[in-house]
Amino acid sequence: MRRHLSIVFLLLLSASLFSQNKDGKPRVVQFSGVVVTVDEFGEMVPLPYTTIAVQGTERGTYAEIDGFFSLVAEEGDTIVFSRVGFETVKHAVPDTLVNNFYSWYQVMSRDNVLLPEAVIYPWPSKDHYKIEFLAMDVSNELRQRAKENLAKEVLERMQSAVPADGAEAYSLTTLRQIEEFKYSGQYKPQNIFNIASWAQFVKAWKRGDFKRKKKKDPDNN
């Protein structure tokens, strides 16, 4: 009895699937694959961070570090592969698939189109620059102000007060990571065995850098 029920259930399931494929709606498929390109040695290498989008929709994804991608698509969808510096490629999902999985190996070609060089000037032309330069006020007051702004004390104060920009923060982070990788898998050298550090410590001790400073009494000034 159970065997007959199982057979009937499978027949009903297959009939329902058949009717779903014939009702005019496209089949939903899992579209997966790898995005690659040719490097300078002529070898195929993964192309990470490539944008893979379904044209005309808001669905999409991007290739991982190894070039792999996966997204849900429908039969007949147009998949757009794009990345800065590479030619955009479009690929249509076939509408004759026999299952719900579809794999694709996409090769991206570099875009050789170069944009013209753009030079930005603070003045419309060199003639305007000459006019403005000759009309500049170079009085003694401006010279003195420039000298004060470029003083060593002012620059040191600005260096300690102005926060680091993106480039400087990136450089500091990179140097810190390089320092960590340099001693990866081993113990970092300790300054307690560093003769130069001991010499600096002795000099600082003789100068009295480690002496506790007496606090001023507000009543006795």
- 6 pLDDT exceeds 60? no
Give pTM, 2 decimals.
0.44
Mean pLDDT over 185-197 rounds to 71
- 18-108 CATH fold: Immunoglobulin-like (2.60.40)
pLDDT at 142: 79
Domain boundaries, the chain: 18-108, 126-207
Checking if the pLDDT of 10 tops 60, the result is no
What tokens were used for 138?
């170079």
- Name the nearest CA neighbour of 52 among 2, 95, 90, 7: 90
According to the model, what pLDDT value does residue 88 have?
94
pLDDT score for 60: 92
Q: pLDDT digits over 128-138, tens only?
A: 888 887 887 77
pLDDT tens readout for residues 26-74: 789 999 999 999 988 889 999 999 999 999 998 999 999 999 999 999 9
At residue 48, φ and ψ (nearest 5 deg) are -75, 165
Reading the block at residue 4, the tokens are: 């007959």
Q: Residue 158 pLDDT more than 90?
A: no
